[in-house]
Structure 1
Amino acid sequence: MVSELDLALVHALQIRPRAAWTDLAPLLGATAVTLARRWARLTEEGLAWVSAVPGPAFSHGGCTAFVFIRCAPAARERLAATLARLPEAVTVELVTPGPADLMLDVLAPDLASVHRFVNGELAALPGVLGMECVFATSLYAEGSRWRLGSLDASQLSVLGRPAAANAAGGRVCDLGSLDHALLDTLARDGRTRLAELAGLTGSSAATVRRRLGRLTASGIVTFRCDMAPAVSGLPVSVTFRGRAAAGEVNRLHRTLAMLPECRLLAAVTGSANVLATYWLRDIGAVQERETAVCAHLPGLEITERVLNTRTVKRMGHLLDDDGRRVGFHHIRPW
């Protein structure tokens, strides 16, 4: 179903999400037409997709929160479907019932917006029995930095490193109507061409190129290539919550984020001040990963293991039971 060329293509797009097929063709040993056809099949079958997501500058103006929701067992699926329609809830996951039944990633332009969403909108939803909300104070790793590992060293050398964005170069509040229109479109499909973006926004291709260049260079937006488990080969997702001395957290992240399965790593508010998500090959690897982490980091105490049973929405993209993309609901973190 997924060939070695498909895997190499996805990895290349993780590094250069908007690269032209003609640029990738020599690297991957295939024609531009073949790559375009392969990508069309992958996207049509919901196996891989590219989208615009908040860049490194988002942490200087925007707000990232993780919300753990308790609900009645019979309400889990219905509540998850309702939450998936809310733009603030960029990711919605069903998790093994325990202290929480649902886990949300919430992105908003500021802290006040998160408070209004959590304490107003979420708290009023039927079926919600309780919530815990923690805020990311530092984000050490997230989905746009995770790599599939299908390209060899020589191919990675040819691709090079992406241009570094200025993490403090842009502010969410500086965005205009054209910027928001571009971001709304690119969040759905990050490979939308400049000519199409120009037509959708009523601007010229030159204007779109200039504004998009500003958004990426300032770190307001970045692009990432996501995929279904059939492509990653890592169907199990687990989030570890742990506690460490405040002075140790910055040191811990160097070990935790270097593990190849690390998808997300954040320092957060609350007594459990470390949150890390790993994509793993099977359920047995959960214990293996925890044992390895604790052996290398005796100062870290794992307090909770949150096993994802199904991702309903990931950065706006709706997923089916197999993790394939089947739709999209707008997100509004900017």
Structure 2
Amino acid sequence: MQLDDVDLALLEALRADGRVSYEGLGTLVGLSRTAARARVQRMLELGIVRVEAIVHPVVRGYTTFAHLSVHTDGACVQTLAARIASFDNAPFVSVVAGRPSLIAEVRTGDLGEMETAIASVRDLDGVVGVDTLLYTDVVKDSHLPLGGPHAFEEFDLDAVDLKLLDLLRQDARTPYADLAEGVGLSRAATRARMLRLLADNVVVVKGLVSPTAVGIDQMCGFQVQLERRGDDVAEIVAKLETVDFMARTIGRCDLVGTMISRSAAEISGALDGIRMLDGVRSVEAWWHLALVKERYSPPLTRA
């Protein structure tokens, strides 16, 4: 589907607020409510955008995150990736070109659970090794402002809040009237709860645009080792337009992240820029070949 300027403006509005009304979208781009709704519905049906209610992982008790580089031998990588993608606590899985065969992010409640989760991956037939990086701080994330585990705090949520979050997870654009009926409150009370959950960053509702739909078809992972004087590097790298995600880590490197771009040349230039930063010891990168899973709204009840 060829997107015009109106479509791109609608996508940008949904990225900022996934629950913006069709009337508000129409006013923004100069269309009627009906015309705006038709355009958005078409893009939803074609998979150009999906609107998700991304619940903060701490609601499910997840405060420990890790980046896994999975090495395989004599196995179908796509099959292994699908197996790992079936884990509820693995929101991101991708087949890559580089030293590992695939990359995954895993989230657990503590280090003990993380050890068990990593063992579950390592025990899969065809896996010969798993290199693990533990996140100490999420510096940049286009999906959800996380911060480090030290920044996580328990949210004071009751059964009604959890029901509301589950309804939003199933359909992030559910009208307030339907949400109110689902949780047994008035529309005004339901809206007030929703605004509180949004203000407290318990949930973020946004449109997740398919990168290829807007010409972004290059995706690259990278890791950075720092010198002792490299304390400011993370903030500099996070400000790069190509960087979509980056975390401080413990393990074989100090930073791990993801770049997205319309061209390999742009990513190559960004990587060279990082290599030349004062305080950087080394940079290693890998190309994402097939994004198997990117789903940040699993069921709220942990398996």
Name the structure 1 match of 2:26: 25
CA contact (8 A) 2:138 2:246 kept: yes
Cα deviation for residue 170 of structure 1 reads: 4.8
Q: Would you say 1:99 and 2:99 are equivalent positions? A: yes
| Matched position secondary structure for 2:20 | coil
Name the structure 2 match of 1:231: 213
The answer for unaligned runs of 5 or more in structure 2 is none
Deviation string, structure 1 residues 241-266 (Cα, Å, up to 9, x no partner): 011136633x2233212221210011
Inter-CA distance 214–123: structure 2 relative to 1 (3 Å threshold)? farther
Distance 1:105 1:26 in 2: 39
Distance 1:192 1:108 in 2: 29
TM-score computed with the length of structure 2 as normaliser: 0.85
The answer for unaligned runs of 5 or more in structure 1 is 147-166, 318-328
Name the structure 1 match of 2:194: 212
Number of aligned pairs? Answer: 297
Name the structure 1 match of 2:263: 282
Which residue of 305, 315, 323 maps to 2:295? 315
CA contact (8 A) 2:57 2:63 kept: no
| Matched position secondary structure for 1:89 | coil
Distance 2:238 2:39 in 1: 31
Name the structure 2 match of 1:298: 278
| Matched position secondary structure for 1:234 | coil
For the aligned residue pairs, the C-alpha RMSD in angstroms reads 3.0
TM-score computed with the length of structure 1 as normaliser: 0.78
Q: Which moved more, 1:206-215 or 1:219-228?
A: 206-215
CA contact (8 A) 1:89 1:331 kept: no
Q: Which moved more, 1:197-206 or 1:100-109?
A: 197-206
Cα deviation for residue 67 of structure 1 reads: 1.2
Deviation string, structure 1 residues 139-194 (Cα, Å, up to 9, x no partner): 11112379xxxxxxxxxxxxxxxxxxxx968515x544444443344335422323
Q: Aligned ranges for residues 130-169 of structure 1 at < 5 Å? A: 130-144=129-143
CA contact (8 A) 1:239 1:306 kept: yes
* Larger relative contact order, structure 1 or 2 (CA cutoff 8 Å, min sep 6): 1
Name the structure 2 match of 1:149: none
Distance 2:39 2:220 in 1: 30
Name the structure 1 match of 2:66: 65
Name the structure 1 match of 2:75: 74
Distance 1:333 1:135 in 2: 21
Which residue of 179, 185, 197 maps to 2:179? 197
